[in-house]
Amino acid sequence: MTNSGNSFKRSPGASFGSLQTFHGGLRLPGHREITASTPIGSADIPPILIIPLQQHIGEPAECLVKPGDTVYKGQVIAKASEPFSVPAHASSSGTVIAVEERLIPHPSGVKENCVVIETDGKDSCPDEQQAAIDYLETEPARLCELIQRAGIVGMGGAGFPTQIKLCNRTQRIELLLINAVECEPYISCDNRLLQERAAEVIEGIRIMRHGVAPEACTIAIEDNMHEAEQALRTALEAANETGITITRVPEIYPSGGERQLIRILTGREVPSQGFPADIGIICQNVGTAAAVYNAVAKRQPLMSRIVTVTGAGVAQPQNLECLLGTPVSHLITAAGGYTKDVERLLIGGPMMGYAVQNDSIPVIKTTNCVLAVTREEMPAPAPAQPCIRCGKCTAVCPADLLPQQLYWYARSNNYDIAQDYNLFDCIECGCCAYVCPSHIPLVQYYRHAKTEIWTQEAQKKAADIARRRHESRLSRLARIKQERADRMARKKRALSGDDGSEDAKKTAIQAALDRVKRKKQQASTTPKNMDNLTAEQQQMIDEADRRRQQKHRGNNN
């Protein structure tokens, strides 16, 4: 139920008071102790960078380079193809050796077009560096342009183009909500970012607040992230910032989900198939805030990110800052390599992540965790058994759906009814599969159903376009045929006098006769080419003319 009476007009420095709850959720072990307490390391420059043209929700970027081209760090190698797209940049200098399909991080193991760069190790930037700007003196439209050109997307996992959230809206924004809730086990990249670079995050938030002009702004953080919270408070005090508050939320998975976090803080519900902006809220990740700061204050595009490399399958679990396009294998090496007991490799956490079979896939803008696990740490799932209708999945679903019903309709390919049960409100958090006593991989069924629906809609869209083109062609041919028939009919009427005018018929006939007469006159008066005659030929012609004249005089006598 929407709590329309909840006001965001709070006194400076005040945090949100009574927190709400959302349906379901789980309390899970954190497994973050080592990585959250270890400084961020560097993965250095890999020999090869693999940069996909699509690293976000929306349309892929349009490639601007070809094999053999030399690129520098920060160069635009793919431009945004439409408003719901962002450009891609070279994250280091080198030579483009291929533009081809490569495996990318995706649950289905698909291949997408990628720009493959052989790095030169120099990390060369263009000679002319762009000057930083004072964001407080900059128009919001200009800030949006800088954010879009920097290729920034949501770095919390969804990858929604940031400029769309901040700029393409008509609603009045009451709350700018900064999400620092890292609720999934093992992942601590945002935690370390706040501990070490809280000032950059705060400046990024101030930039977004200047562009959005919300009534209130708060940072939501888990109540167990004490060091990160203290770093934020220190940065706020140093900046003398009183318009940004900090609100603690309970450590319940998935409280970091956008809809769930909004529910906790405000009691409001985001409409089904809607967006937070529909209820006056914009939600951004702390990693996104840091990227916005770099884009505006330093004029740097999004070229790197912090990734948690962890699990019992790696020798030295830690957070690593790496260039976008870095192969996962390079990250594993930087983290000390695999242990002998490694069993599986996941991109993302244990709940929302997915297993991959190849560590050559690259790090992209939404990659927050690489998890290498052992069999003991994460046993292989047991074989699925028939559903016993226990209802546990419904009890823990944070989106307040009916997972059991969605499972039946997704399994039977009855996608229309699955959508009636709000399939696309599922955030794929994995709570339902986690508690299922029958070990049914419920999320896999939901993902498959969504993919099939998207595929069918794309095919229908393509078929509609082809049908409209065919109908347009038939209409055009019919119009041309009719116009030709009308012209012929007018000519016939003019020649036959059927248009009701005898004078018109006579005029048309006389015009035709005049044209024939003019052609005959032109043929008879056209002089022959006399320029190339020899003297002997000229003498013969003159003699022939003399004889004709004599014959003509004799006939007259």
What CATH number is given to the structural domain containing 495? 1.10.1060
Distance, CA of 35 to CA of 115 (rounded, Å)? 31
Mean pLDDT, residues 178-188 taken together: 94
Q: Which residue has the higher pLDDT, 433 or 490?
A: 433
Given this model, what pLDDT does residue 550 score?
73
Are 215 and 320 contained in the same domain? yes
Are 281 and 367 contained in the same domain? yes
Pairing of β 216-222 and β 245-249: parallel
Domain boundary among 373, 403, 428: 373
Q: What percent of the chain has pLDDT over 70?
A: 90
Given this model, what pLDDT does residue 3 score?
36
Distance, CA of 306 to CA of 319 (rounded, Å)? 6
Instruction: Give me the sheet containing 76-79, strands edge to edge.
Output: 62-63, 76-79, 88-89
Are 201 and 338 contained in the same domain? yes
The answer to whether residues 143 and 210 touch, using CB atoms and an 8 Å cutoff, is yes
Are 362 and 425 contained in the same domain? no
Residue 132: band (very low, low, confident or very high) from pLDDT cuts 50, 70, 90: confident
In a domain, 14, yes or no: no
Instruction: Report the Cα–Cα distance between both ends of the chain, in Å, rounded.
Output: 128
Highest mean pLDDT: which range of 12-16, 128-132, 141-145, 414-418: 414-418
Are 368 and 502 contained in the same domain? no
Distance, CA of 15 to CA of 175 (rounded, Å)? 12
Interhelix angle 502-525/442-496, rounded to 10 degrees, is: 90
Lowest-confidence region among 90-94, 115-119, 458-462: 458-462
Are 364 and 481 contained in the same domain? no
Backbone angles phi, psi at 419, to 5 degrees: -70, -30
Q: Which residue has the higher pLDDT, 39 or 3?
A: 39
Given this model, what pLDDT does residue 7 score?
43
The string of pLDDT tens digits covering residues 65-98 is 999 999 999 999 999 888 888 999 999 999 999 9
Are 361 and 389 contained in the same domain? no
Q: Which residue has the higher pLDDT, 171 or 120?
A: 120
Q: Which residue has the higher pLDDT, 324 or 59?
A: 324
Are 459 and 500 contained in the same domain? yes
Question: How does DSSP assign 99-156, residue by residue?
Answer: EEEEE-S-TT--EEEEEEEEE-SS----SSPPPP--GGGS-HHHHHHHHHHTT-B-TT
Q: Which domain holds residue 473?
A: 384-516
Non-local CB neighbours of 202 within 8 Å, separated by 6+ positions: 232, 235, 236, 239, 241, 244
In a domain, 522, yes or no: no
Tokens of 447: 């993902």
Are 350 and 494 contained in the same domain? no
**Is residue 232 predicted with pLDDT exceeding 90?**
yes
**Is residue 537 predicted with pLDDT exceeding 70?**
no
Mean pLDDT, residues 513-538 taken together: 67
In a domain, 21, yes or no: no
Q: Please count the CA atoms within 13 angstroms of the CA of 542 that sit on its side-chain side.
A: 7
Are 159 and 184 contained in the same domain? yes
Domain boundary among 352, 373, 394: 373
Distance, CA of 220 to CA of 201 (rounded, Å)? 13
Residue 439: band (very low, low, confident or very high) from pLDDT cuts 50, 70, 90: very high
Distance, CA of 385 to CA of 120 (rounded, Å)? 53
Domain of 249: which CATH number?
3.40.50.11540
In a domain, 9, yes or no: no
**Is residue 509 predicted with pLDDT exceeding 70?**
yes
| Angular region, 239: left φ>0, alpha ψ -120 to 50, beta rest | alpha
Q: Using alpha carbons, select from 22, 38, 110, 4 the residue that is nearest to residue 310.
A: 38
Residue 5: band (very low, low, confident or very high) from pLDDT cuts 50, 70, 90: very low
In a domain, 12, yes or no: no
Given this model, what pLDDT does residue 12 score?
39
The string of pLDDT tens digits covering residues 468-506 is 999 999 999 999 999 999 888 887 776 665 555 666 667
Given this model, what pLDDT does residue 418 score?
94
Question: How does DSSP assign 175-207, residue by residue?
Answer: EEEEEE---STT--HHHHHHHHHHHHHHHHHHH
Q: CA distances (Å), 146 to each of 143, 198, 208, 230, 235, in order?
A: 5, 22, 12, 31, 24
Instruction: Give me the sheet containing 342-347, strands edge to edge.
Output: 41-42, 318-323, 304-310, 369-374, 342-347, 354-356
Are 321 and 448 contained in the same domain? no
Angle at alpha carbon of residue 190, lines to 372 and 285, rounded to 5°:
120
Given this model, what pLDDT does residue 555 score?
58
Domain boundary among 347, 373, 399: 373
Q: How far is CA 86 from the centre of its chain?
A: 6
Kindly report the pTM of this predicted structure.
0.81
Distance, CA of 282 to CA of 269 (rounded, Å)? 13
Backbone angles phi, psi at 89, to 5 degrees: -125, 155
What total number of domains does the chain contain? 2
Are 255 and 359 contained in the same domain? yes
Residue 533: band (very low, low, confident or very high) from pLDDT cuts 50, 70, 90: low
In a domain, 538, yes or no: no
The string of pLDDT tens digits covering residues 321-357 is 999 999 999 999 999 999 999 999 999 999 999 999 8
In a domain, 545, yes or no: no
Given this model, what pLDDT does residue 407 score?
96
Given this model, what pLDDT does residue 525 score?
58
Q: How far is CA 212 from the centre of its chain?
A: 22
